[in-house]
A and B are shown apart, each in its own frame.
Chain A
Amino acid sequence: MDSKPEVKVPVRLSTRDPSIQLEQEPGPLLVQTTLRRPQLSALVNSLLRPDDKPIPFDILINGQFLRTTIDEFLTNNGISAETTLDVEYTRALIPPLNVTSF
């Protein structure tokens, strides 16, 4: 009964880059609030090019780059999971950290 409740929040994906536009607008998607940028990037890849090598995306929520979990982002910005979030994705400009160790 007292398992940690998993919170989900509706997100609406969009991009300004016509080359990575989704062919089919999926509508709002309910995602876990524990997610970070890499998982959301994986979500976009799964919708955009499920059979190709994934490309990294940066994620912006309400115009701000996501650097934490969604949950932390919501808390820091005084938003609740009751609100549908506008999630924008762009091609990642900076290579992801911790990729090269040589």
Chain B
Amino acid sequence: LVHLDDVSALTPESARALWLSHEASTHSLSQQLTESLRLILAPTLATKLRGDFRTGKRLNLKRIIPYIASSYKRDKIWLRRSLPSKRSYQVMIALDDSKSMAESGASNLALKTLTLVARSMAMLEVGEVAVTGFGDTINVAHDFDKPFTSEAGVRVFEQFGFDQQKTDVRGLVHKSLDLFAEARRKGSSSAGEDLWQLMLIVSDGICDSHADIQRLVRRAQEERVMIVFVIIDSSAGAPAAASAPANGSEGVAEAEKEKKGIMDLQSVEISPEGKVVRWKYMERFPFRYFLVVRDVRELPGVLSGALRQWFGEVVGSV
């Protein structure tokens, strides 16, 4: 019994057609997200005074005493206004290429999300954008050091088939931290400590090895890589109704019987003796920052709102 691959990677022609169609349909949403992100990122791009130099704009008071104590030898006592770096951010979009994405009907919305976010980041000119695909294996679909053009988008689409037989999120985070470390080394000459690294995982959210993932998420935090998990929840609600109220009538309840979203998904642990423990899957989701997207139109608002809050947290903690 061989499982036939009825879904294979997109052909170059269909990849191009799909990319162009998603690019067109999400164009105004991309602009909306770009504008919101510009507002969020603008203050952090502003110039700062920093030391330590032999000449400069303003004295660094902390250096004065050591300067005198060293008989005026340690003379790097000046602050300079550093130039804002254009390469201050590295954003990786990791797209779930596993079969569950196709089965749940999340793949198309996921590709749209990828298009929207990648185009926004490119328009923003915040820095570098990379795209990885994950499932059984981890694939770098687009490298940090290449510009993310429309042509690059087409190349990326060609590498997704949503037919991988596993969802190795643990492997993804592990590999991505290495990729981020490498990208940081390469970009360090211009950006230095002000380099911000953000990883957006776009997935249906179903993954195993939660304990290991939690450890990796902590490591990411230590390495100042922010991970935001964007859950594509195509299983919940009808696609046409973007914001149906939850307190629906009998009819709605009936319609939703078949379609339960990720927030209702239950995880079960059964001991060999048959002791059953059940809990809501999302209550123990291993990622600290996640958002649930059911319609691509929600994305600019939800994502920028979340990033504003989380960037704020990070800035506040430094």
Give the interface of A toward B (CB within 8 A). 1, 3, 5-8, 10, 25-32, 35, 38-43, 46, 54, 76-84
A42/B166 contact (C-beta < 8 A), A26-B266, A82-B98 known:
no
- A7–B104 Cα distance when bound, in Å, is 18
Q: Is the CB of B208 within 8 A of A5?
A: yes
B260–A7 CB distance below 8 A: no
Could you show 11 A-B contacts with beta carbons less than 8 Å apart?
A: A5-B212, A30-B267, A38-B274, A39-B270, A39-B274, A42-B275, A43-B270, A82-B99, A82-B166, A83-B99, A84-B104
B208 and A77 form a contact (CB under 8 A) = no
Can you name the residue of chain B whose Cβ is closest to the Cβ of A84? B103
A79–B170 Cα gap in the complex (Å)? 22
Q: Which of A3, A30, A84 contacts B211 (CB 8 A)?
A: A3
* B46 interfacial by beta-carbon distance below 8 Å: no
- Closest residue of chain A to B174 (Cβ to Cβ) is A1
**Bound state CA distance, A81 and B100, in angstroms?**
8
Assess whether B166 is in contact with A30, with CB atoms less than 8 Å apart. Answer: no
Determine if B270 and A82 form an interchain contact, defined as CB atoms under 8 angstroms apart. no
Contact of B170 among A5, A35, A43 (CB under 8 A): A5
Q: Which residues of B contact A (CB under 8 A)?
A: 1-3, 98-100, 103-104, 164-167, 170, 206, 208-209, 211-212, 215, 257, 260, 264-272, 274-276, 278, 281
Query: Would B100 and A32 count as touching, CB distance under 8 A?
Result: no
A27→B212 contact, CB < 8 A? no
Asked whether, in the complex, the Cβ of A27 is within 8 Å of the Cβ of B264, the reply is yes
| Cβ–Cβ contact B206 & A30, under 8 A | yes
Closest residue on chain B to residue A11 by CB atoms: B268
Q: Which residue of A lies closest to B103 (CB)?
A: A83
Q: Which residues of B contact A43 (CB under 8 A)?
A: 268, 270, 276
6 additional contacts, CB 8 Å, given A30-B206, A35-B270, A43-B276? A1-B212, A1-B215, A25-B257, A80-B3, A82-B100, A82-B103
Instruction: Give the residue name and chain of the A residue nearest to B135 (CB).
Output: A82
How many whole Å from B174's CB to the nearest CB in chain A? 8
Chain B residue, CB-CB nearest to A24: B257
Chain B residue with the shortest CB-CB distance to A80: B165
Given the complex of chains A and B, what is the CA–CA distance between A82 and B99 in angstroms?
Answer: 6
| Chain A positions within 8 Å of B272 at CB level | 39
Given A77-B1, A80-B165, A82-B100, answer yes or no on A27-B274 (Cβ-Cβ < 8 Å): no
Rounded to whole Å, the gap between the CB of A45 and the closest CB of chain B is 8
Contact B270 A42 (CB under 8 A): yes
Closest residue of chain A to B277 (Cβ to Cβ) is A46
A residues within 8 A CB of B165? 80-82
User: Which residue of chain A is the closest to B267 with respect to CB atoms?
Assistant: A30
Nearest A-chain residue to B2, judged by Cβ: A78
Q: When the two chains form the complex, which single residue of A30, A81, A83 contacts B268, counting CB atoms closer than 8 Å?
A: A30
Chain A residue numbers with a CB within 8 Å of B164 are: 82
User: Would you list the 9 A-B pairs with minimal beta carbon distance, nearest first?
Assistant: A42-B274, A27-B260, A82-B99, A80-B165, A46-B276, A82-B100, A78-B3, A39-B270, A30-B267
When C-beta atoms are compared, the residue in chain A nearest to B215 turns out to be A1
**Which of chain B's residues have a CB closer than 8 A to the CB of A78?**
1-3
| Contact between chains at A32 and B265 (CB < 8 Å) | no
Given contacts A1-B215, A7-B208, is CB(A28)–CB(B103) below 8 Å?
no
CA distance A78 to B275 in the complex (A): 29
Question: Looking at the complex, which one of B166, B269, B281 makes contact with A81 (CB distance below 8 Å)?
Answer: B166
Contact of A80 among B166, B211, B212, B267 (CB under 8 A): B166
In the complex where A5-B170, A5-B212 touch, is A80 in contact with B268 (Cβ < 8 A)? no
